[in-house]
C-alpha cells in the first residue's frame, strides 16, 4: 500500500519540488494550493484533510508548506497582513495536524514536516509577521513531537535559507525599497549577507531533505528544527 502525503502550497517553487520528489519515492501525494483552498481559513484546512482522507482512505504525512512574505517596517506593517501571515504560516499547520492527527496515528509512522525557515531561528528587519509566525511554528512542532511520541508521529521544522522560488524573486523589489538599495545589490548585500555560502538553495535540495525526513531514516528525528541554511545560523 502506497503511503499518502498531503502537501500544501504544492504549485509553488518548493512545494512543486516536494511533490515531484515524493512521487519519485512512490508516495501518493494529495497536492493542494490556493486555487483549491484558501488555507487562511479554518474551514479550508478541515476541507483539505477531509478531501485527502476521502480520496485515499489514509494519511501518513502532512507537509504544511504554503506561505507568503510581506516586507514592511513595524510602524507601517498592515495589521490585516499580520493576521493572514499568522493564519497561513502558523495556524494552518496547527489545524492540519489537528484534523489529520487520528489518521497520522493510525499510520503508525505518521509524519508532520513543516516547511519553516531559517527565520524560525533568527530574525531579519522588516519581516515581523513572517519571523514571528515561523518562530511560532517551531514551538508547535516541538509540542506535536512530544504528543506524537506515543502514537508514532514525528514532527520536524525544515529551516531553509533563501531558495530560488517566486517568493524570493518577488521580494527583491520590496527589499530594495525597504533598504533604499538598487534591486541588483539586494541579493548579495541583503538576502545573502548572513549566509556563509553565497548562493541560493535550489527547491530540489529542500525536497530531498523532506523526503529523508518522511522516509524510514527520518524516524528518529523529531521535535527539532532541521536547518538547510548554507551556514546562516552558524553566525
Ligand X SMILES: NC(=O)c1ccc[n+]([C@@H]2O[C@H](COP(=O)([O-])OP(=O)(O)OC[C@H]3O[C@@H](n4cnc5c(N)ncnc54)[C@H](O)[C@@H]3O)[C@@H](O)[C@H]2O)c1
Interface residues with ligand X (CB under 6 A) are 8-9, 11-15, 33-34, 38-40, 65-68, 88, 115, 117, 160, 162-163, 165-168
The closest residue (CB) to ligand X is 12
93 or 218: CB nearest ligand X: 93
Contact (Cβ atoms closer than 8 angstroms) between residue 21 and residue 204: yes
Give the orientation angle of helix 92-107 with respect to helix 42-56, to 10 degrees.
Answer: 20
Indicate the residue among 129 and 160 with the shorter CB distance to ligand X. Answer: 160
In whole angstroms, the minimum distance from the beta carbon of 206 to ligand X comes to: 7
- Between CA 88 and CA 102 the distance in angstroms is 22
> So which residues are the catalytic ones?
130
Query: Smallest distance from the beta carbon of 150 to ligand X, in angstroms?
Result: 29
Residue nearer to ligand X on the CB measure, 40 or 175: 40
Give me the least distance between CB of 157 and ligand X, in Å please: 10
**Shortest Cβ distance from residue 148 to ligand X (Å)?**
21
Report in angstroms the alpha-carbon separations of 232 from 27, 33, 79, 162. Answer: 32, 29, 29, 10
Alpha-carbon distance of 62 to 73, in angstroms, equals 33
Specify whether the CB–CB gap between 132 and 70 falls below 8 A.
Answer: no
Q: How far apart are CA 133 and CA 190, in angstroms?
A: 21
> Which lies closer to ligand X via its Cβ, residue 12 or residue 148?
12
Amino acid at each position: 500500500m502506497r503511503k499518502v502525503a498531503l502537501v500544501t502550497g504544492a504549485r509553488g517553487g518548493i512545494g512543486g519540488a516536494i511533490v515531484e520528489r515524493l512521487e519519485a519515492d512512490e508516495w501518493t501525494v494529495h497536492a493542494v494550493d490556493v486555487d483549491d483552498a484558501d488555507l487562511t481559513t479554518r474551514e479550508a484546512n478541515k476541507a483539505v484533510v477531509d478531501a485527502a482522507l476521502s480520496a485515499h482512505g489514509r494519511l501518513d504525512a502532512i507537509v504544511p508548506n504554503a506561505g507568503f512574505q510581506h516586507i514592511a517596517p513595524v510602524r507601517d506593517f498592515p495589521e490585516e497582513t499580520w493576521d493572514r501571515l499568522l493564519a497561513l504560516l502558523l495556524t494552518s499547520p496547527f489545524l492540519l495536524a489537528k484534523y489529520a492527527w487520528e489518521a497520522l496515528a493510525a499510520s503508525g509512522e505518521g509524519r508532520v514536516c513543516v516547511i519553516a525557515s531559517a527565520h524560525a531561528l533568527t530574525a531579519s528587519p522588516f519581516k515581523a509577521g513572517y519571523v514571528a509566525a515561523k518562530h511560532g511554528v517551531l514551538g508547535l512542532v516541538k509540542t506535536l513531537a512530544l504528543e506524537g511520541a506515543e502514537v508514532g508521529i514525528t514532527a520536524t521544522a525544515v529551516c531553509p535559507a533563501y531558495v530560488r522560488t517566486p517568493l524570493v524573486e518577488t521580494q527583491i523589489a520590496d527589499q530594495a525599497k525597504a533598504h533604499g538599495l538598487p534591486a541588483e545589490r539586494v541579493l548579495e548585500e541583503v538576502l545573502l549577507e548572513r549566509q556563509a555560502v553565497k548562493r541560493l538553495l535550489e527547491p530540489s535540495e529542500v525536497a530531498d531533505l523532506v523526503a529523508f525526513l518522511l522516509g524510514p531514516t527520518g524516524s528518529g528525528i523529531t521535535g527539532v528544527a532541521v536547518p538547510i541554511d548554507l551556514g546562516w545560523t552558524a553566525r
